[in-house]
Chains A and B, each alone.
Chain A
Amino acid sequence: MIDVDDLVARAADGEEAAWAALVDRFASLVWSVVRSVGLGESDAADVSQTTWMRLAEHLRELKDAARLSAWLVTTARREAIRVSRLGVRQVPVDPWEWLEHPGDVLDGPESRVLASERDLAVQAAVALLPPRCRQMLLALAADPPSTYAEISRSLGVPVGSIGPTRSRCLDRLERLLKEQTEGLLDDVGLRF
């Protein structure tokens, strides 16, 4: 998580490269949040940009960069809900119904929204992984998945060390996922 703390601090000081690195890591999380509220692509694009515009001015207040993902999820979701409420737009799933009565919709068609909560926590955890672990996961998720030889070349590590790196990365992912699941529940679940 150290490097994300560092990116937030450097972006707060005005360093554009640090901002670009934050966008690379978290753009997919923000996009998933906005789309899971049910917005079409054009509205989702507007909400995504509003979220990033706000973040640019809130970097200094994010004293704990570990909360960055929760801040992004909360801000993007609230803004998406505003836009979804404007009346002219299509919302396949009523997010308020879920936010107000999550238990009621567990078994309904909306369970895909609940499932996506877990997806968001996984995405947030992946975004917080150290660069090497993140690259490895993205390489494995590629279609077709990268081979160990390809991963070895792109990460610049010997093939023999990929196995141990992979285990360390999975340990890390497990811890981050636990933290993120709790963090997202605290920040997003209770504050709505």
Chain B
Amino acid sequence: MSEEAQLEGLLQEALSVLRRAEPVPAGVLAAARTSFGWRDVVDAVADLEFDSAVDDDDLARVRNAGSERRLRFRATHAVTELRVIDGGRRLAGRLEPPIAGSVILRHPARPDVTVSIDRLGQFLFEELPSGPVRVVAVPSDPHVSGFQTEWVTV
């Protein structure tokens, strides 16, 4: 095939891909644009290192089917464990090591919700909206640095 014919074939393929691609809904596009306003590069971000939705082996997944989803996030000096419970309606969590202070549940379409951390490092959000969420740990001691989980879809 001549080079020209090959490029012509590529053009036709590209046009066909572009025509077949589902248009991005306007709301999805708007949400992507406003995502920029949510960036927070001040507090350290704890990376998601375990998610029972994908990291449990098959046996554990079958055993836990329909029950809670467990997530673990790791920052340099702390681990945050989250459990999505009651069919996704509530979010329980624990900080290791425990810190004194509060945690904020952040969602791009909802006001922040703040609850306090108990002495064992545990906390509970009674209402969990679906969508992208993150938990921000705010120590009451200003000398202790705060941190936040990365965004995750619940």
Q: Which residues of A are interface residues toward B (Cβ below 8 A)?
A: 11, 16, 19-20, 23, 27-28, 30-32, 35, 41, 43-50, 52-57, 60, 78-79, 81-83, 85-87, 119, 122-123, 125-126, 137-138, 140-141, 143, 145, 166-167, 170-171, 173-174, 177
Contacts and interface: CB of A to CB of B under 8 A. Distances in A.
A85 B130 contact: no
A131 to B, nearest CB: 16
Interface stretch (B16-24, B75-83, B91-99, B118-126): B16-24
A87 B151 CA distance: 20
Given A46-B130, A57-B45, A20 B33 contact: yes
A56 B53 contact: no
Q: Which of B18, B38, B65: most chain A CB closer than 10 A?
A: B18
Contacts of B23: 28
Interface of B: 6-8, 10-11, 13-15, 17-25, 27-29, 31-33, 35-36, 38-41, 45, 51, 53-54, 65-66, 69, 88, 108, 130-132, 150-153
Q: Is the interface of A mostly helix, strand, loop or mixed?
A: helix
Contacts, number: 131
A147 to B, nearest CB: 15
A50 B41 contact: no
Q: Which of A46, A123, A173, A174: most chain B CB closer than 10 A?
A: A46
Contacts of B13: 122
A72 B32 CA distance: 13
A167 B11 CA distance: 10
A122 B40 CA distance: 32
26 contacts: A23-B33, A27-B29, A28-B23, A35-B22, A45-B31, A48-B28, A49-B131, A49-B132, A50-B152, A53-B39, A55-B35, A57-B39, A79-B152, A82-B53, A82-B153, A85-B53, A119-B20, A122-B13, A123-B18, A126-B17, A141-B18, A145-B15, A167-B7, A170-B10, A174-B7, A177-B10
A140 B125 CA distance: 51
A3 B17 CA distance: 23
